[in-house]
Structure formats: C-alpha cells, structure tokens
C-alpha cells in the first residue's frame, strides 16, 4: 500500500493556508524569540506541563496510508482535564486576535488532540487551547474549545479528504515512476572509461548513507554517472529526492539535458529547476509586498489549482513553464517553483538553496536526516561559495543613510540606528591608527544593538509600507537579519574584521573554515557526492568541505587519448609581480609562435585584468593582422554572449581571446572540436595578496603549517586546471596547453599537475616551442 508521509504542519498548512504571500518580516531575532518564548511558557506553566510531545499516526484513507507526525507544544493536566496547548508568537496587537484568527492554528492543535484521544480510549472529549503571546507587549491571550472524539474524528477525516486529491496524485505518480525506473538502463550504448566506476561508487554511497568525493576529468560523463544511480535509488526507495546542486546556470543546463535524455528513455520523473527570484519576477523592480505585487496578493487562494494543472500536464518544469502559468493564473512564479518542488523527484538548483543560512529551503532542511541525495557539481567552487554564504557584513554608511531619511517623528528608530552607528565607532576607538583590524571574539554588544533595531524596525515598516524611506529601511532590516543569522554560527572558525576608510566602517563576520558548517548541512540528507574535474590536491578540498581521513574518495583518469593533448611548460619567464613589465614582450612572442602554425581559435589567460590588457595591447600592436577579442571587467550581458559566440564561428583564420584567469570564461564553457584548439596560461593563478587571503594564510599556518598553500597555491592552481580543461572536451578534440612561468617546474607545482599531463614537455626557448608544436600538428 502507498504510504504518504507528512508533518502535521505541512498537512494543515497546505489545506488551510489562504491569502497573500508576505515574507516582509523574517528576522532571525523573531525566530529565536519564538523558540525562547515557547520554552518560557512551557517552563512557567502553573499546571503540570509536558512539553514537545511527539506523535506519529497512521490512518488509511482511500487506499492511501497517511503517516502524519509532529510535536505538540504541550499537554496540560488541570483539574482532571487534558488540554492540548499550541503556542503562537505574534506581533499584531492582541485586540486584533479573535477566536477564529487563524483556522490553520486550530487545525494543528486539533490534529494533536485527535492523536491523543486515539491513544487514550477512556476519554471522550478534550480541551484544545491556542496560546497567543504578543512579543512587543509580552502579553498572553488564550482561547479554548472543548471537542469530542466525534468532533475530532470528523475534522481529521475531512482534513484527509481535502488532501486526498493530492494523495492520489502522489500515489499514481510514484507507482508510474517506480515502474519506469525499474526498466531504466544506462541511456548510452556503453560506459566510457571510468564512467561505470563512478556510477557504482555513487550507488554504493547511497546504500552506505555516506559522502563521496570524486575527481573525474572532463569526458567521464559526471552528470549522467551521478544522476543515473541516484534515480535508480529513488525507484528502490533508498532516497526520496535528488538535489542536483551547481554554482553556475550553464552547469544546471547540462543536468537538465541529462534528465531530458532519460525522459526519452521513457523514465517518468517530476523534475524542476529553481531560478533566482529576481530573474523570475514579473515586476520591473522586485517588491514582494502584496499591496504592490498582484502575483503575491491572494497567492494561496489560487496556487493549489495551478500546481495541480502543472503536475498533471508536465514532468519537466523549467523557467518557461513556471512563467507561463504564473502569468496565466497571476501567481508568483518563484514561489510556485518552491511549492511545486515538494512534488518533484529531482530539483536542479544553486548551492545556496541547500547551504546558505539566509535562503536555504526550510521546508526540506529544518530537521536532519531527510531522505535526500545531494549531487554537488563543480564542487571546487563550494569552498569560496561556502565561505561567502557563511559570512556577513554591515556598513555604518547604510545605517547613516537610512537615519537621514527618517522623519523626526520616528524618534525610537532614529535612536536605535544611532546606537548601532555608535557601537561601530566604539569598535575602533582603541586602535584608531589602523584601517583594518582582525579580532577573534564576536562583537556581542553590536549584536544586541542590532536585535533592538530589528524589534523597533518591524512595526515601523508595517505602518509605513509606502513611505519614501521604506525601501532602504527594509533592505537594512534584511541585511541586519542576515548578520544576526551568521552570529548564531560564529565559532573558532571565524574572525571579526573591521575595515575603516575615510568615510565608512564595515564590520564582517568572516568564515575562514566552512568545513563543519558544510558537513552539518550534508547530514541533512541521506548521502552526498561532491565531484569536479579539478579537486587537486584532494586533501585540501576534503579538509574544507567537511571530509576527513575516512571519507570515501574516488580519483579517475581522463578517458581521452593522451596523444590528442600536448602540454608545454615554458620555464624561461617569470610572471611574478615585479617581473611583469619585463615579461610582456617575451610572452607576446610566445603567444604568436604558439598560434601561428595552425589557424584556429585560442584563449590566453592572464592572472589580472591589468596584466591581461597590457599583454593584449602589446600583442595587437605587434601583430595587427590577428583577430583579437579581449575580456573586460564591465562587459554587458550582450557583450559576454557575443564574446563566447565568436568561438562558434568557422575557424578559417586565427582568433585569440584574451581572458582573465578564474573569470567567467575560465570554467564552465564547453568549446568542442575546433572551437578551441589551444590555451595559453600566464602565471600560476595566485590570488592577489590582500588582507583576506592573509587571514586564510595565518589561520591554516596555525592549523596545519600549510598557510601559504591553502591561501594562495592551491586556489591558484585550481584556476589554472579549470582554464586548461577548456581545450579537450570530447574524444576527437585535439589541442595544446602552454603554461608560462618558471614555477611550474618546481616540485611544489609539478606534484599538482594531473596524471594525464605526465607527458608534458619543458620548453626553454621560443624555437623549441615552434618545433614541438609543428611535430604535434603534423602527426
């Protein structure tokens, strides 16, 4: 029999939720306050109070076994009676709250009352109580209803009846899906070298409920090798849902193509791509206030029918479908995507939907141990992304700007803003001579001032929704909220930084080592696979992404013929900062030598825009007949697309693209065949020396005596390997990689070169490169 598992809250909210989307107030202080108040009321009850009582109930309705679970806030025993207590914290005045304030609140409490009566056969009635705590006034208002066993039985059966349409939909979908997955075979005629090993390793990781790190070079077919066993596991009830997580939209499109291929093989899945809210929004400027956005107004009154229509008519739900239904039914397409995702087997989305404490999908990850499989593509990107997601900054200028906009009538809020500004000033008073400070202890005093600001800010925003200062105040409210969320995570893996300029002070909670936070997030699923073509050295990525000595790992080799790729190292030029001016002309000659023997498309990567433009300009001056395209830091979307499209044109002449190492053209682009036949990489990719990188250096020097490697060498080499990986994309591609820097021949860097480069040639002079390339192209 089909079993449908849901929480009490999910069930009643789906059936009873109505009205508008309104996410205007989501402060961490409010969430923390709600939990604190729950504990306070539970602890100070004058009557015997059993808190957080767990219930799990199974009931068959129309051939579906509904397994519903949740925790009642409390069970009170008073004067021989049993009271089921449901606590709700509110910010609206208690005078506005009547007994029928929220049907969903009563429904939640009534579920627990029903479950309790089923366990206590001697009782025929029970008291159900809603306790509303007004946060600002710290006052309580309570309502009680006495309900009989018959009342609660009728209520619960109607609840299941109202959801049964959706239960039937899920039942039919799961039966059809599992039958199709059982028939699924690998969607290609054969496995590539290493592809079967990867698929087997992923499947075994799911069985073991473990984490797997994989380095698999381009050509293995990582997307299909990870999705295929994960989907087979869905059909065997090993996992309920697969999250395919990426750092860039181009990688999401590859996953979508793999799912489309399996659909062609008659696999029936519900898949969805989650796209950023700003990109999905229909308004010229995003504003989620239901009084302004018609797609938020009355959203919950319309969305259920929209969801039902989408699910019965589509199995792959992308941006176009979401926008089409959003416009037709006047519902927010972004919120529609989140609600539909609950009924999908595969969710393709950005890292932040799982890892970011500000925006992660709470509907899935509030509790650990969900039956989710995390497939984390291009996992080398997760190090920096995790650091960013787990860090937060605030600037004094933001508070000053808002304070200037406020009318004098907003006295309390103006005072709260002034106190925050004064609090920031106080942080640097003891060391006024320095512009950048690093402190290990958190600024608890500032956190308290921000909490006070948020508490005062909420009612002001609610009452002045259309004021001139509302937009900036709301943004400051959310920025403060983000900062306070991160303050809850602050530990020895963080430092506080204060950056002072002549006009501003910026305070940052800076996450140096995100490993524990990443590891904790991965535990919210059943299993995970982190994979990339460049995870060298693997111990570095293991240590920063939650792995350890016992973590499963798999190293695969390139499936492409070695003879299709030539790798050259020119060790006669130093690209260190002090030698860059003198290196430009020799590099220009090398670029011309490397690209003159064969017409085609080439990319030259340099470590900074300034160095890049100097080299590109010198090359154009020396060889004006060669077509050159140069990446700029401020390119428009159209310019970015045009730059890449130039590589798709017929290569009847030589074209050289000059790109910055580690930029948008340094990874993720797929230039197959003759679209790219050579890559020239200048330097070893070291990040610019700055205060932030030095924080990493000092921290890891203390941790493992590898501070310089962790802060500079390994991140730089990862950019090099990514750029080099643009050349050979298929088994028929041919091309070369030229590395220019004398450091590549040192032991430190040689050991970081991938195994399929072990046939590299060291070049000392320009004529040696010409001879070697001439031999390569004429093979």
The Cα 79–Cα 96 span in angstroms is: 30
Q: What is the CATH number of the domain that holds 403?
A: 1.10.275.40
The Cα 752–Cα 760 span in angstroms is: 13
Answer yes or no: do 435 and 578 share one domain: no
The answer to whether the beta carbons of residues 593 and 770 sit under 8 Å apart is yes
Beta bridge partners of 494: 511
* pTM of the complete model beyond 0.85: yes
The answer to whether the beta carbons of residues 453 and 416 sit under 8 Å apart is yes
With respect to residue 252, please indicate whether it lies within any of the assigned structural domains: yes
Q: What is the pLDDT of residues 408-424, one digit of tens each?
A: 999 999 999 999 999 99
With respect to residue 176, please indicate whether it lies within any of the assigned structural domains: no
Can you give the pLDDT at residue 95?
87
With respect to residue 8, please indicate whether it lies within any of the assigned structural domains: yes
HSE-up (13 A, CA, CB side) for residue 534: 23
* Residue 710 pLDDT level (bands cut at 50, 70, 90): very high
With respect to residue 174, please indicate whether it lies within any of the assigned structural domains: no
Answer yes or no: do 578 and 688 share one domain: yes
Answer yes or no: do 583 and 663 share one domain: yes
**DSSP one-letter string for 379-438:** GGGHHHHHHHHT-EEEEHHHHHHHHHHS-TT-HHHHHHHHHHHHHHHHHHGGGTT-SEEE
Q: Of 116, 135, 166, which one is at a domain's C-terminal end?
A: 166
The Cα 87–Cα 34 span in angstroms is: 9
Can you give the pLDDT at residue 34?
61
The answer to whether the beta carbons of residues 754 and 536 sit under 8 Å apart is yes
Can you give the pLDDT at residue 30?
52
What end-to-end distance do the CA atoms of the chain give, in Å? 64
Answer yes or no: do 90 and 119 share one domain: yes
Task: Name which of 339, 267, 266 is nearest 300 in CA terms.
Answer: 339
What mean pLDDT value characterizes the chain?
91
How many structural domains comprise the chain?
5
CA 206 to chain centre: 21
In terms of residue numbers, what domain contains 90?
2-166
The Cα 435–Cα 499 span in angstroms is: 6
Answer yes or no: do 143 and 43 share one domain: yes
Answer yes or no: do 263 and 252 share one domain: yes
Give the β-pairing of 601-606 and 81-90. Answer: unpaired
With respect to residue 620, please indicate whether it lies within any of the assigned structural domains: yes
Give the β-pairing of 627-630 and 211-215. Answer: unpaired
Question: Would you tell me how many other CB atoms lie within 10 Å of the CB of residue 137?
Answer: 10
Q: What is the pLDDT of residues 101-130, one digit of tens each?
A: 889 999 999 999 999 999 887 889 999 999
Can you give the pLDDT at residue 26?
46
Can you give the pLDDT at residue 652?
76
Angle, CA of 338, 341 and 343, to the nearest 5°: 140
Answer yes or no: do 772 and 671 share one domain: yes
> φ and ψ at 438, to 5 degrees?
-120, 125
Answer yes or no: do 434 and 533 share one domain: no
Angle, CA of 26, 31 and 35, to the nearest 5°: 165
Can you give the pLDDT at residue 433?
67
* Burial category of 261 from C-beta neighbours within 10 Å (exposed 0-12, middle 13-18, buried 19 and up): middle
With respect to residue 423, please indicate whether it lies within any of the assigned structural domains: yes
> φ and ψ at 322, to 5 degrees?
-60, -40
Q: Kindly state the average pLDDT of the residues 269-285.
A: 93
The Cα 650–Cα 675 span in angstroms is: 8
Instruction: Tell me the three state secondary structure of residue 654.
Output: coil
Percent of the chain with pLDDT over 90: 74
Answer yes or no: do 265 and 216 share one domain: yes
With respect to residue 435, please indicate whether it lies within any of the assigned structural domains: yes
Q: What is the CATH number of the domain that holds 612?
A: 3.40.50.300
The Cα 513–Cα 526 span in angstroms is: 24
Q: What is the pLDDT of residues 4-35, one digit of tens each?
A: 999 999 999 999 988 898 654 444 445 555 66
Answer yes or no: do 245 and 358 share one domain: yes
Torsion of CA 171, 173, 178, 183, to 10 degrees: 150
Answer yes or no: do 411 and 382 share one domain: no
Beta bridge partners of 565: 735
With respect to residue 173, please indicate whether it lies within any of the assigned structural domains: no
Answer yes or no: do 87 and 236 share one domain: no
């Amino acid at each position: 029999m089909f079993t449908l598992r849901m929480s009490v809250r999910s069930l009643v909210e789906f059936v009873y939720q109505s009205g508008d989307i309104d996410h205007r107030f989501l402060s961490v202080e409010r969430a923390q306050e709600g939990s604190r108040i729950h504990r306070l009321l539970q602890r100070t009850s004058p009557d015997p109070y059993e808190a957080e009582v767990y219930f799990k109930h199974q009931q068959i309705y129309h051939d579906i076994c509904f397994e519903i679970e949740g925790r009642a806030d409390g069970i009170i025993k008073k004067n021989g009676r049993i009271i089921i207590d449901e606590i709700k914290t509110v910010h609206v005045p208690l005078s506005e709250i009547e007994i029928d304030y929220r049907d969903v609140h009563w429904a939640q409490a009534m579920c627990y009352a029903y479950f309790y009566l089923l366990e206590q056969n001697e009782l025929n009635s029970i008291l159900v109580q809603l306790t509303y705590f007004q946060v600002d006034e710290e006052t309580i208002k309570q309502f009680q209803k006495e309900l009989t066993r018959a009342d609660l039985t009728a209520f619960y059966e109607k609840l299941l009846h109202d959801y049964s349409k959706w239960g039937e939909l899920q039942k039919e979908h799961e039966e059809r899906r599992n039958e199709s997955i059982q028939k699924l075979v690998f969607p290609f005629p054969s496995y590539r070298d290493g592809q079967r090993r990867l698929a087997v390793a992923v499947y075994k990781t799911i069985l073991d409920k473990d984490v797997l790190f994989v380095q698999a070079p381009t050509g293995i077919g990582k997307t299909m090798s990870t999705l295929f066993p994960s989907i087979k596991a869905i059909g065997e009830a090993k996992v309920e849902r697969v999250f395919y997580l990426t750092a860039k939209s181009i990688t999401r499109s590859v996953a979508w193509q793999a799912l489309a291929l399996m659909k062609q093989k008659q696999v029936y899945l519900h898949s969805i791509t989650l796209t950023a809210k700003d990109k999905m929004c229909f308004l010229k400027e995003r504003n989620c206030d239901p009084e302004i956005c018609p797609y938020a107004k009355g959203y919950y009154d319309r969305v259920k029918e929209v969801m039902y229509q989408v699910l019965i008519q589509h199995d792959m739900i992308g941006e176009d479908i979401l926008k089409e239904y959003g416009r037709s039914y006047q519902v927010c397409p972004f919120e529609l995507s989140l609600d539909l995702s609950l009924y999908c087997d595969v969710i393709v989305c950005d890292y932040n939907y799982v890892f970011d404490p500000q925006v992660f999908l709470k509907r899935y990850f509030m509790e650990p141990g969900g039956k989710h499989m995390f497939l984390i593509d291009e996992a080398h990107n997760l190090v920096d992304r995790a650091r960013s997601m787990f860090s937060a900054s605030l600037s004094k200028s933001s508070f000053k700007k808002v304070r200037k906009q406020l009318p004098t009538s907003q006295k309390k809020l103006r005072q709260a803003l002034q106190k925050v500004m004064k609090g920031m000033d106080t942080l640097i008073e003891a060391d006024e001579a320095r512009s950048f400070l690093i402190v290990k202890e958190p600024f608890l005093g500032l956190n308290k001032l921000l909490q006070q600001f948020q508490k005062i800010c909420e009612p002001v925003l609610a009452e002045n929704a259309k004021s001139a200062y509302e937009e900036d105040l709301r943004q400051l409210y959310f920025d403060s909220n983000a900062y306070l969320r991160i303050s809850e995570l602050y530990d020895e893996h963080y430092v506080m930084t204060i950056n002072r300029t002549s006009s501003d002070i910026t305070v940052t909670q800076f996450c140096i080592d995100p490993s524990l936070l990443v590891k904790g997030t991965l535990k919210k699923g059943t299993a995970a696979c982190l994979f990339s073509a460049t995870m060298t050295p693997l111990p570095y990525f293991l240590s920063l992404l939650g792995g350890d000595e016992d973590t499963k790992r798999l190293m695969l080799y390139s499936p492409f013929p070695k003879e299709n790729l030539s790798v050259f190292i020119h060790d006669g030029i130093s690209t260190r900062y002090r030698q860059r001016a003198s290196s430009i002309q020799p590099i220009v000659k090398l670029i011309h030598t490397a690209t003159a023997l064969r017409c085609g498309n080439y990319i030259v990567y340099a470590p900074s825009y300034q160095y890049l433009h100097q080299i590109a300009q010198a090359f154009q001056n020396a060889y004006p007949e060669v077509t050159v395209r140069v990446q700029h830091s401020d390119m428009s979307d159209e310019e970015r697309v045009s730059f890449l499209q130039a590589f798709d044109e017929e290569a009847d002449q030589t074209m050289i693209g000059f790109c910055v190492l580690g930029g948008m053209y340094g990874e993720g682009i797929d230039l197959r065949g003759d679209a790219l036949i050579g890559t020239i990489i200048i330097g070893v990719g070291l990040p610019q020396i700055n205060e932030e990188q030095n924080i990493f250096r000092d921290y890891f020097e203390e941790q493992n005596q590898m501070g310089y490697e962790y802060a500079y060498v390994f991140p730089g080499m990862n950019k090099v390997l990514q750029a080099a990986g643009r050349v050979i994309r298929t088994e028929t591609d041919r091309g070369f990689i030229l590395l220019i820097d004398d450091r590549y021949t040192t032991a430190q860097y040689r050991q970081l070169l991938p195994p399929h480069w072990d046939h590299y040639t060291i070049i000392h002079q320009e004529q040696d490169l010409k001879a070697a390339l001439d031999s390569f192209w004429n093979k």
